[in-house]
Structure 1
């Protein structure tokens, strides 16, 4: 298969994922915009609650990401029974994980609010006011996490079936409903932060219902449901296979989230203006980093599907991924060099914060270019069973980044950027070594999900390539 075809397919899969990811960020911004009318305490409560929800996303990624890879692999192999098995495994994991998080989170909502806000007293009245508000938000949002988790599984199934546009449309639909309901529940019905949580859950529920309709109508999934005989395998085996596939991807995400939170504490050693600048710049970077993750998902889907068909084209896909991601990374670098002050101004910063943020953004370019290549190329390994090694590289890289950042924090935000770039350069070296090994694969390999990968003749799909 030609390079142009790989590139076309990657772009076709990636751009809807990009807008879906941005839509997820936008949902939090919509809530914050309306809650801001209630005062600083409400803003703080919703902000920390949103961060907790982002961290919990790593839990359900075990089901969502694992299902995506397994469905894509089964689709490439044209194995209807394996598609059904992958779908069942995702829903079994959802049924196991969701009650623990939703019910347990609701029962522990007050201690959780204390934890994320730093105690009952805090450092002032703002922290004290935020505690009951955060608890109120959690009382709605944590039970409603069941909807959020189910939507993630639906998205994973659709993406594995090759449909990345519907998850994008569902995310935009959810945002539209939230945008309409926020003022109604927050201000009109005077429900405050509870209103923001209710609007968010309802918006996601509407999107989830539409997602179920699309699942029922999806041609690939319907054909699998009609053609596959009753499978003798147990539900536990399906769930275990999905968990083994998705757990390393979840660990990778959680490691990066924890590292980002820890880095804030290191930046705080430099000064208040630097912390504010770092926070604003990080949000601005979502525009670029979401594109890197979109390419990663596209590469994962494409790689898994072709391997399922008995075609090992990891190196060809990897070259196109590096071309796309490298171009995006260099574009981000040049944009930051030229427009850093205007970016900070667009996010409402001024004075010392704006100056510190502009300096940080201009120093961040090399890191972003390396990050783009690492994140995007990681999709090839996620789709081919190499995600455990990828997760280990990420965990070591995050630990190294934090150590270097602590050591170089005396140089201010440029020192933080240097630490990030050095740690990412080593991660890129590690993944490049993994990538070079794909040049001479063994005749028959087996990935972590138990799928046999035949690589003897890339252009001749093996009829025996099925889920073990």
Structure 2
């Protein structure tokens, strides 16, 4: 019994050692995201509504390419578990080739069709919000290829068990983003007499795009010149390996579909909220931003579970894979419950960071409290999804995501928020029910155990 407890403690320690860099990475992203939103919120309610709206659209675009990152993570983890590092490097190169080619074409089309695209999704917003949204969109769309390169390489590194390198790069990128936001959004007077004029929303967009570009180049530098387990050689010829591409795509397409369904659901909810007025849009943005407080540890433990479970399955250690999954889930639930407790107590103070509008603060405080109560379910569904993703059981995740987001979050949110006139509170009831449904579905699938025998 003592040996079993000691074994569990060692596993917990291994999970935490792998998770903490990703948690720190998310803390950096969350902190800078919060500060950027606070900066934009001080520009005005229209500004925060416009930026939140376009960020939802960018996250939707990002979801299309997220499958490549997930496919790279899963395949690299399996190959590392099989002790085939040569094939792991081939997998990284093929992921990189696909991500660069597709993201550049996508960015060109996204820029050309900027106006009709925003009109399709957010045509009902006020002219002032639309104008700011277009300014923000035309700048941040240019950073998409660099953002995708960063995501895909980081996914490969995590699959190999290296969560520290993505953390360091994220730290650099977010510090740059923060500094640029502080200079460009409100302007600054230097002692030399040089003046940077306040750029408002444009300044926030430039900050995001410049920092993402730097992040993409840093990841490429580390991949080719850093001493990592899956480094590529700059002298090596770029070769297409269609068999490896298809292996990644077999995991990546369902994973992309999952992300598109998920981000599509988020985007539709954002569109519904945009018809409720500027106050509701600001509240929604603040609520989602505050929720990143809770998501940061969940993200870390989910990635740790994906990497450790994937490597265990590659090494045919099925029982160990199950133990990693359970311990990751349990730690995540405990950590998120503690964070949720403090979010509930300090909900008003948290909301007041983003705006001085008393109405927005009051409603946002209520929304944050609702989120705080259901956070443990968010931990369960994300960690279990990470486990199933490592196993290659992505079609089930796609199904669960569709049911949770579209049949519950979107449908119930729209019905309560718009049809019955509850407004933004109706949207949040739909979100909470989505958490319940998906956490139950993933837990059931995990308990059934078939995920341990899927080939990828």
TM-score with structure 2 setting the length:
0.82
Q: 2:64 aligns with which of 55, 59, 67?
A: 59
Tell me, yes or no, if the aligned pair for 1:273 and 1:356 is still in contact at 8 Å.
Answer: no
Q: Distance in 2 between matches of 1:181 and 1:174?
A: 11
Cα deviation for residue 47 of structure 1 reads 4.0
Cα deviation for residue 37 of structure 1 reads 7.6
Partner deviation per Cα, 1:385-432 (whole Å, 9 max, x = no partner): 112211211111112223333444448466555444434323222212
- 1:19 alignment counterpart: 24
Partner of 1:143: helix, strand, or coil? helix
Partner deviation per Cα, 1:281-339 (whole Å, 9 max, x = no partner): 22211100232222111111111111122211332122112211221342244334433
Partner of 1:364: helix, strand, or coil? helix
Structure-2 change in CA distance of 1:151 and 1:258 (3 Å): same
Tell me, yes or no, if the aligned pair for 1:105 and 1:143 is still in contact at 8 Å.
Answer: no
Tell me, yes or no, if the aligned pair for 2:30 and 2:293 is still in contact at 8 Å.
Answer: no
- 2:126 alignment counterpart: 123
Residue range with higher mean Cα deviation, 41-50 or 282-291: 41-50
Partner deviation per Cα, 1:215-243 (whole Å, 9 max, x = no partner): 23234124x879xx999x95222222212
Q: Distance in 2 between matches of 1:82 and 1:416?
A: 46
- 1:68 alignment counterpart: 73
- 1:459 alignment counterpart: none
Q: 1:396 aligns with which of 383, 396, 403?
A: 403
Tell me, yes or no, if the aligned pair for 1:92 and 1:239 is still in contact at 8 Å.
Answer: no
- 2:191 alignment counterpart: none
Residue range with higher mean Cα deviation, 374-383 or 133-142: 133-142
Q: Across the two proteins, how many residue pairs are aligned to each other? A: 435
Residue range with higher mean Cα deviation, 2-11 or 70-79: 2-11
Q: Distance in 2 between matches of 1:195 and 1:356?
A: 28
Tell me, yes or no, if the aligned pair for 1:109 and 1:139 is still in contact at 8 Å.
Answer: yes
- 1:242 alignment counterpart: 248
Residue range with higher mean Cα deviation, 190-199 or 420-429: 190-199
Q: Does 1:111 align with 2:116?
A: yes
Structure-2 change in CA distance of 1:415 and 1:140 (3 Å): closer
Tell me, yes or no, if the aligned pair for 1:89 and 1:240 is still in contact at 8 Å.
Answer: no
Partner of 1:347: helix, strand, or coil? coil
Cα deviation for residue 441 of structure 1 reads 7.5
Partner deviation per Cα, 1:220-274 (whole Å, 9 max, x = no partner): 124x879xx999x952222222122123333333333232333345567888755
Q: Does 1:83 align with 2:88?
A: yes
Tell me, yes or no, if the aligned pair for 2:392 and 2:451 is still in contact at 8 Å.
Answer: no
Structure-2 change in CA distance of 1:303 and 1:278 (3 Å): same
- 2:311 alignment counterpart: 305
Tell me, yes or no, if the aligned pair for 2:67 and 2:259 is still in contact at 8 Å.
Answer: no
Q: Distance in 1 between matches of 2:435 and 2:52?
A: 28
Q: Distance in 2 between matches of 1:341 and 1:211?
A: 38
Partner of 2:229: helix, strand, or coil? helix
Structure-2 change in CA distance of 1:181 and 1:22 (3 Å): same
Partner of 1:144: helix, strand, or coil? helix
- 1:429 alignment counterpart: 440
Partner of 2:161: helix, strand, or coil? coil
- 1:204 alignment counterpart: 212
- 2:190 alignment counterpart: none
- Matched ranges for 1:166-185 at <5 A: 166-182=165-181
- 2:389 alignment counterpart: 382
Tell me, yes or no, if the aligned pair for 1:363 and 1:414 is still in contact at 8 Å.
Answer: no
- Matched ranges for 1:4-15 at <5 A: 4-15=9-20
Partner of 1:248: helix, strand, or coil? helix
Cα deviation for residue 342 of structure 1 reads 3.0
Q: Distance in 2 between matches of 1:97 and 1:203?
A: 21
Q: Distance in 2 between matches of 1:60 and 1:75?
A: 23
Q: Distance in 1 between matches of 2:271 and 2:212?
A: 33
Tell me, yes or no, if the aligned pair for 2:348 and 2:365 is still in contact at 8 Å.
Answer: yes
Cα deviation for residue 174 of structure 1 reads 1.1
Segments of structure 1 that go 5 or more residues without pairing to the other structure are: 450-468
Cα deviation for residue 349 of structure 1 reads 5.3
Cα deviation for residue 88 of structure 1 reads 2.0
Q: Distance in 2 between matches of 1:441 and 1:355?
A: 44
Partner of 1:324: helix, strand, or coil? helix
Q: 1:355 aligns with which of 355, 362, 385?
A: 362
Q: Does 1:50 align with 2:55?
A: yes
